[in-house]
Amino acid sequence: MGGQQCDVLGTPYRPFRYFSMDGLALAGRDYRADGQNGPPLLCLPGLTRNGRDFEPVAARFAASRRVISLDLRGRGASEPSPGGRGYDPATEAGDVIRAMDGLGIDRAVFLGTSRGGIVSMVAAAMGPDRIVAAILNDIGARIEIDGLIRIRSYLAGATVPGDWPAAGEAAKAAVGATFPDLDAAAWDRFARRLWRDRNGRPALDYDPDIARSLDALTPDMPPIDLTGAFAALGAKPVMVIRGEFSTILSAGTVDDMAGLHPGLIAHTVPRQGHAPLLEDDPTLDAITAFLGTLPA
């Protein structure tokens, strides 16, 4: 584990590395609380995203609860998989459990955004005793195909901007309709979580092979059914967060999840789409309330 650093919001953490079963060096951040209150919060990012997305979450919770954010393989500071092998939820869930083992964490609350939520559900199937509760950010028992095709189009057309001011503008041009209320400072934060800084300029922060999993999608496909994966959470406490404008997680799917999982806590983020940024006070307050219902 490396020496203490601070993220862009000023929250201290220690970077760490661990190794996957196939020998990749994977990375994460350990925001260790002085007075730990309850099980750690383990944060897993979206398909091509990285652990920086959870800096607002760490800023809210790390003073009282240990927060771990991971860069899944091929994202952020984690090594890519040779030939694009291993970019699947089962392999990534195995990586997550190895991270927990390396950090000495027996059980955690999983907070997964999009792909990270799928990985959370798969991890629950692999090791039910490792997960205390799940917070699923804009992912659930069904995935809408049109939303996945939009993500594929966005990734296919993405280019790396030449400088950071252009990066904020590029992010707004690509997904501005999804987040219509963000100001210039928020778009700059968005861009700096999306791209890495290399010698003062933006650089790609994920392995392009990751997007290949979307190549076979066609508009006539039915929604992807994750009911079985969702069922792996059993009777564990579950919170689902949905962006009002989401094209990945429909309101109908959230209703169906409530029928499948009595006690499900649902929170909608107004005027955001896929995936909610987890930085607004009402959403962080809702997460706080959910965590407050869990056993220590």
The tokens of 250 are what?
A: 């429909």
For residue 187, tell me if it sits in a domain.
no
Measured CA angle at 87 (ends 210, 122), to 5 deg: 130
Stretches where the chain sits below pLDDT 50 are none
Specify the 3-state DSSP secondary structure of 259.
Answer: helix
For residue 172, tell me if it sits in a domain.
no
Specify the 3-state DSSP secondary structure of 47.
Answer: coil
For residue 194, tell me if it sits in a domain.
no
pLDDT value at residue 12: 97
pLDDT value at residue 220: 95
For residue 248, tell me if it sits in a domain.
yes
Nearest to residue 112, comparing CAs of 41, 31, 175? 41
pLDDT in tens, 209-251: 999 989 999 999 999 999 999 999 999 999 999 999 999 999 9
Distance in angstroms (rounded) separating the CA atoms of residues 135 and 137? 6
**Torsional sign, CA 123, 102, 284, 48:** negative
CB 78 within 8 A of CB 94: no
pLDDT value at residue 33: 80
pLDDT value at residue 159: 86
pLDDT value at residue 156: 86
For residue 199, tell me if it sits in a domain.
no
Q: In what order do the strands lie in the sheet with 67-71?
A: 5-6, 12-19, 25-31, 67-71, 41-44, 108-113, 131-137, 238-243, 265-269
pLDDT value at residue 26: 99
Distance in angstroms (rounded) separating the CA atoms of residues 191 and 165? 9
pLDDT value at residue 260: 97
Q: Which burial class, exposed, middle or buried, applies to 209 when counting CB atoms under 10 A from its CB (0-12, 13-18, 19+)?
A: middle
For residue 165, tell me if it sits in a domain.
no
Distance in angstroms (rounded) separating the CA atoms of residues 175 and 177? 5
Beta strand spans in 114-263 (E): 131-137, 142-143, 196-198, 201-203, 224-225, 238-243
* Domain count within the chain: 1
For residue 238, tell me if it sits in a domain.
yes
Which residues constitute the domain of residue 89?
5-148+223-292
DSSP 8-state assignment for residue 204 = -
The tokens of 59 are what?
A: 């800023």
CATH code of the domain in which 24 resides: 3.40.50.1820
For residue 173, tell me if it sits in a domain.
no
pLDDT value at residue 157: 76
Q: Containing H/E element for 170?
A: helix 164-175
